[in-house]
Structure formats: structure tokens, C-alpha cells
Chain A
């Protein structure tokens, strides 16, 4: 719409000197929506014209922008500011719970919370992984991959034990967290993480699970302790969830293993990825790939020598988490107090995020 209006203005300016009748005619014509024309030939003609004009306009704009940039480069001036597209994330609703870096209460709270002993490396994380009562097909496969992702994780068969009993058992055996994979219709669909001994319980929805064998060109992870990347956990709640995930992994990554585990939060969805990275000398890559252009490469070699690029290889699994609730204390559905529960009434806008 905005574009159309602009065009009208232009036309109005151009035709200002001409007869009034003509002006009114052109304006009227441009107002007509192609969809309101009943004759197909006419409609398509009008539509094509509009489309062409749009395209021309766009090209003109990009050219002007490029020219301005080039000019600025030549003159050594500052480049014109790049336009940032408006996305849902950067137009997020103002949230007062977003953590500020100079907040002493936040850090005091961090020091006092349930995960601080692990994060300060006073204790080593030890994870118990179990399932819901009925577990088959993709569930066990997912758990075997989780065991390879999380170091010092132990799988225990669920049997018919109550989760509260398992919590008790894990407390006695000095586990620091419990991860419960819930399966529905032979497909893992929820993840419960319980911090021990008294920590919060987070309940996640699990979706978009892709196992290692389904990832093309996947790698197999080594036994090194992974590096952990937590992205975008900005609010108080996000911080807490992030720290909870943080406390699942050992705090001494082995950088020789070049293994990275990423939890990336975007619009309240937490994306899990597991990669291995490698640094490659660019020259060797060139000689490998460009068999024909060896001569050219030889000339360039002198300039590109020593430059390295990083390559990623995904070694699954790949899944997405969404927080449903965060419970105060360990798992207790009947008498539990919630620190945060998602309720339908909180979804007032698509630009409102909680993590």
C-alpha cells in the first residue's frame, strides 16, 4: 500500500501542469485494484504493469544504495548505516525482567541458588537419565545419544518406580540432576529436568527430534568433555533455566575434543545442537577442491597462506525444547509450587517472550 501511495504522489507532481481532467483520470486509474477488474486480460495487464514498476523501483533503490556506498568508500567517509530488518525478536515487547549486567541482586541471587556449587566447580555433575514407564523405538535411541552428549550420565531403567522414589534414590546416590525423557506414541515428546537435592524442576516440551543416524554427513562424538554455548537466556527466568542447563555439564571443557553443545534460545524455543568443529588451512582446501586451477591457486597461495577457516560437522541429536513450567522444589505434581507456569492468558502478543 505504501508503495502505491508513493507512486500516486509522483504522478500527481508530474501531471500538475497538465489538464485537471487528465490528472484526475490517472489517479483514478491507479486506485483500481487489479483484483477488482473482472476482465482477465485487462486485469493481468494492470497487474503486470504494477509488478514491473515495483521491480524497477527496487533495482533503482539498490543501485542508489550501492552507489552511495561506493562513493563513501572512495572518499573515505563513513559508510551509510546499514538498515536492520525488523524481526519479531528485535521488536520484542519491553520486559522489565530482562537482566541487567550491573545488578548486584542478580549476582547475589546467582551465588545463592541451587546450581552455584556446580558452576563454581565445587561439585561434579552426575546425571541420572530415565524414561517414562513405557518406552520403545525412538526413546531408547534418543537416550543412548543423550548419554553420549552429557558426560557422567547414567541410564537407569524406569521400571514401575514413582518419580518421587527415584528422586529419593538419586539423592542418596549423590546425583546432581535427573533427566526424564517422556515418550508418547513411541516418540519422545517431553523432557523433565530435576535439579537435586532441592532444586527446581523444569518441564519442557520436546519437538523436532532428529536422531544422529538421520543427519546427513553426521560425525560421531568423542569422549571429550564438550564446550557449552548458551544463547539468549536474557530474563530472570531465562537465566534460571540457562543455569539449570549449565549445571548438567562439567565445567571443564576439553578444547582438544573440539566438541560443542549449543542451547540456543530464540522466541522461547530452545534449540539443541551438537557439533564438532575443525580448523582448516585454506591453502590445503584450495589444492584439494580446485584441481584445474592449480596455476591460479599458486599465484594466490602467497597471499592466502596461513589463513584458516572453521568447519562444522553436526553430530546429533537435534531437537527443540519449549519451557512449560518451572517448579519450586523437586518433582511434585499435587503439592508443588510453581515458580513459573505457562498459562493461556499470558499469550497476549506474539512479541512477548519469557526466556
Chain B
């Protein structure tokens, strides 16, 4: 008898992810917490399929109220969308080449009101630009004003492929094909560090510079940087130590396409061009293990959930996959039809909102969702769960507080 090929879903924690694909569509995937309803499903689709609006770069600001997603498209358009309902808040046309990467600032600058936000974009030929975009609340018209923005050149030649901004949003990192990794102070706008290519190997062969992905190892520490190169290497740079990599790890034979650091500041996760996903402990440079799960297409983007031990990856095979970090098992896979370019997680999603009955009804059915929302008040167990979770969290908090206190005592 045929076995069904659906992956066994081993209790996916509640999450809400947005996926971005080559046809310019944004799809919202939600997994509800609970015993039955934890299979992730496509809830919404924003936008119409149009190849010229292929999404190339994405950044999310997942604050509590009014979360925003910045979307850079192939035709040079930059859009600011609401992460909750997909309303277009603002749009700008970017000049000067295709967008390589972008970052939406999370901290709000004092002189700017909450109605505007700051965006760092970088084009593939190295033009970085800080701009503030005013948000119009009405979704229909988007008369955004391009405030005096600051532009500078990151590199003179080569193409920028990756960039990253550290947790405090003071430093930005750029690298690419033929561009050595360099770090910029965003306030002073000057280059405070640049990498040096590793020496020739014992056969006197020099591998050309080609960075494909970059990330800060720790959120609060801007000094340690992890990058992935096209020559299947993962390197750790310490800007306080030296200009050459501290550790470099070789992994199989296809280029590293996505790198992300874990919360603990040691472990990193990276994906390759042939669909392998692995984790490495960056203190020792040892590979902790691979994530095995029939992943057949190049991995383009990985995100780490800030609370639960899961990561989500997406890539050219059109699947969004959710992995457990401890067992390195595949929790679930959602087929999203197109080649995906990016994925982001909306971390404010709690999963308790609709009831467990939502699992039975089709998520696209708006009426069903409405009904569920009505039923929401009547159902007990979900609420209980929430309270228990809260307890857990509070316990954690207490623990951490205790620790802090102890440390203080010491």
C-alpha cells in the first residue's frame, strides 16, 4: 500500500512565517499551538504573480504594535508593508542598480516620530543608502517623502552579495564577489574594519574572494562575524584580533548560501547550494550535525525563532521547512509552489488567537476563521495552556533573575 509522503509533524511550536518568492508573492504560514492544530498552513497570500516584481531582499521589524516588513523588488521598488495584514504603507523607487540587501531599523531614533522608519539598503554595485521613509496609514495612496538620505560607496569594484547589521544597529557588514568583508560604523559612516584574504594554500593556489552570506555571531557583540564563502567555507572573523579569519571550516562541496547565528552566540546554522543544512560550533569549529530531510534545492534563507528551539529554512525547491534544533529533525514542511528567496518570522505571534477548531477548517475560508474567533471565548483548554505557558515563562524569568542576583552577589 502506498505510504503517504507527508512528513510526520512532531509538534511544531506556534509560529507565523512570511515567505517571499520569485513571482513577487508573499505567503503567510501559520502553525497554531496545541495538540491537533500544529501543522503549518498557508493562511494568506499577498500580491499578484508578476515576475518583474520578484522579491530580492527583505527585512522585518517585528515590534509589538504595527510590525513592518520592508520588501525590495527586482524592478527597484522598495515597499513597506504591514506584517499583520499586508497593507502597503509606503513605497519608494530605488535608483542605482539592483538591491542586494536591506535592513529595517528596529530602534526608533529619538528625533523621528513613530510614523517614519529608517531603512538601510545596499545595491549590488556597492551603493549603501540610509533613508527614512514616512509611513502613511492609509493603504490606498503611498505618498512617501524621501527625506534627505545619506549615500556612500561601500566598495569600488565587485558585487555586493551579502550584508548584515548587528544587534545594536551601530555597525553594518558588507561583502560579496570580489569585495573583502568590511564593517562600517553607521553613525560616523566610516569603515572601521576590513578583512584580509587568507594566504595561499600549500599548493600556492589563491582562492578569489567571494562571500555569499554574512551574519554576526552574537547579537550584542559586533566583533565576531561569521561568513560563508562560495568555496564552501564557513569562516569566523574576530575584528578585535586580526584581519584574517580566526577559524575556517570546510563543508562538503557546494557554496554556502545562508548563515545565521544562534542565540547562545556559539552555534551557527548554514545552508548550502545543494540543499544541505548543518550546524557548527564556532568555538571549536566542529560540525555538530546535519539536518537531514529530503531537502533537494539550494537553501536561500534561514531564520532562528527567538523563543522556541526551531529554525525555518527555505530555498529553490519551494518548501518552507521547520527544523527542531535539539534533535535536528524535520518538524514540518510546507509546499509553497514557487522558488523562494526569503523567509522571516513574525515573533509576536502567539498561536492562541484562534481555537483548536481552526485545524479542521480550511484556513483560507474567511468565514470559518470568523466563527472560530467567536468560539474562542467558550473554549477552555487553550486558555489553560496559555496560562501554563505563561507560568513556564515566568519561571524562566524568575530563574534568570535569580541567576542575575547570584551573579551580583558574587
Residues in A lying within 8 Å of B, measured CB to CB: 91-97, 103-106, 108-109, 111-112, 236, 328, 334-343, 345-346, 348-349, 351-352
Say which residue of B5, B50, B51, B230 sits within 8 Å of A94 (CB atoms).
Answer: B5
Q: What residues of B have a CB within 8 angstroms of the CB of A112 in the complex?
A: 22-23, 49, 51
List 11 interface pairs A-B (beta carbons < 8 Å), by A numbering. Answer: A93-B3, A108-B51, A111-B51, A112-B23, A334-B230, A336-B255, A339-B297, A339-B317, A341-B274, A346-B294, A349-B5
Decide if B237 is an interface residue (CB 8 Å cutoff).
Answer: no
Decide if B210 is an interface residue (CB 8 Å cutoff).
Answer: yes
Say whether A105 contacts B254, CB under 8 Å.
Answer: no
Say whether A105 contacts B317, CB under 8 Å.
Answer: no
Q: Which of B29-81 contact A (CB under 8 A)?
A: 49-51
Residues in B lying within 8 Å of A, measured CB to CB: 1-6, 22-23, 25, 49-51, 210, 230-231, 253-255, 257, 273-275, 292-294, 296-298, 316-318, 335, 337-339
- Bound Cα distance from A112 to B49, whole angstroms: 10
Taking the nearest CB of chain A, how far is it from the CB of B273, in angstroms? 4
Say whether B339 contacts A94, CB under 8 Å.
Answer: no
- Bound Cα distance from A91 to B1, whole angstroms: 7
Taking the nearest CB of chain B, how far is it from the CB of A152, in angstroms? 27
Taking the nearest CB of chain B, how far is it from the CB of A246, in angstroms? 19
For the complex of A and B, 4 pairs with smallest distance between CB atoms: A112-B51, A108-B49, A337-B298, A337-B273
Say which residue of B1, B210, B316, B335 sits within 8 Å of A337 (CB atoms).
Answer: B316
- Bound Cα distance from A345 to B273, whole angstroms: 17
- Bound Cα distance from A166 to B273, whole angstroms: 23
Taking the nearest CB of chain A, how far is it from the CB of B384, in angstroms? 34
Known: A92-B2, A94-B6, A335-B255. A105 touches B23 (CB 8 A): yes
Known: A337-B273, A343-B296. A105 touches B25 (CB 8 A): yes
Say whether A351 contacts B3, CB under 8 Å.
Answer: yes
Say whether B298 contacts A339, CB under 8 Å.
Answer: yes
Q: What residues of A have a CB within 8 angstroms of the CB of B275 in the complex?
A: 338, 341, 343
Q: What residues of B have a CB within 8 angstroms of the CB of A108 in the complex?
A: 23, 49-51
Say whether B210 contacts A351, CB under 8 Å.
Answer: no
Say which residue of A94, A95, A236 sits within 8 Å of B337 (CB atoms).
Answer: A236
- Bound Cα distance from A94 to B2, whole angstroms: 8
Say which residue of B22, B49, B273, B292 sits within 8 Å of A338 (CB atoms).
Answer: B273
Q: What residues of B have a CB within 8 angstroms of the CB of A345 in the complex?
A: 292-294
- Bound Cα distance from A247 to B192, whole angstroms: 51
- Bound Cα distance from A334 to B255, whole angstroms: 7
Q: Beyond A97-B318, A343-B275: 11 further Cβ-contacts under 8 Å?
A: A96-B335, A105-B25, A108-B23, A108-B51, A335-B255, A335-B273, A337-B298, A338-B296, A339-B316, A345-B293, A346-B294
Q: What residues of A have a CB within 8 angstroms of the CB of B4 in the complex?
A: 93-94
Say whether A341 contacts B335, CB under 8 Å.
Answer: no
Cβ-closest chain B residue relative to A336: B273
Known: A339-B298, A339-B317, A343-B296. A91 touches B230 (CB 8 A): no
Q: What residues of A have a CB within 8 angstroms of the CB of B49 in the complex?
A: 104-105, 108-109, 112
Cβ-closest chain A residue relative to B48: A108
Q: What residues of A have a CB within 8 angstroms of the CB of B297 in the complex?
A: 338-341
Say whether B318 contacts A91, CB under 8 Å.
Answer: no
Q: What residues of B have a CB within 8 angstroms of the CB of A111 in the complex?
A: 51
Cβ-closest chain A residue relative to B232: A334
Cβ-closest chain A residue relative to B334: A96
Taking the nearest CB of chain A, how far is it from the CB of B316, in angstroms? 5
Say whether A343 contacts B50, CB under 8 Å.
Answer: no
Say whether A346 contacts B316, CB under 8 Å.
Answer: no
- Bound Cα distance from A337 to B228, whole angstroms: 14
Say which residue of A236, A336, A339 sits within 8 Å of B254 (CB atoms).
Answer: A336
Say whether A338 contacts B5, CB under 8 Å.
Answer: no
Taking the nearest CB of chain B, how far is it from the CB of A284, in angstroms? 49
Taking the nearest CB of chain B, how far is it from the CB of A24, in angstroms? 35
Taking the nearest CB of chain A, how far is it from the CB of B405, in angstroms? 48
Looking at B4, B273, B335, the one whose CB has the most chain A CB atoms below 10 A away is B273
- Bound Cα distance from A349 to B335, whole angstroms: 20
Q: What residues of A have a CB within 8 angstroms of the CB of B274 in the complex?
A: 337-338, 341
Say whether A351 contacts B317, CB under 8 Å.
Answer: no
Q: What residues of B have a CB within 8 angstroms of the CB of A351 in the complex?
A: 2-3
Q: What residues of A have a CB within 8 angstroms of the CB of B2 in the complex?
A: 91-94, 349, 351
Q: What residues of B have a CB within 8 angstroms of the CB of A109 in the complex?
A: 23, 49, 337-338
Say whether B337 contacts A105, CB under 8 Å.
Answer: yes
Taking the nearest CB of chain A, how far is it from the CB of B153, in angstroms? 26
Q: What residues of B have a CB within 8 angstroms of the CB of A103 in the complex?
A: 337
- Bound Cα distance from A105 to B22, whole angstroms: 11
Looking at A106, A111, A337, the one whose CB has the most chain B CB atoms below 10 A away is A337
Say whether B23 contacts A337, CB under 8 Å.
Answer: no
Cβ-closest chain B residue relative to A99: B337
- Bound Cα distance from A343 to B254, whole angstroms: 14
Taking the nearest CB of chain A, how far is it from the CB of B206, in angstroms? 15
- Bound Cα distance from A346 to B22, whole angstroms: 25
Q: What residues of B have a CB within 8 angstroms of the CB of A105 in the complex?
A: 23, 25, 49, 337-338
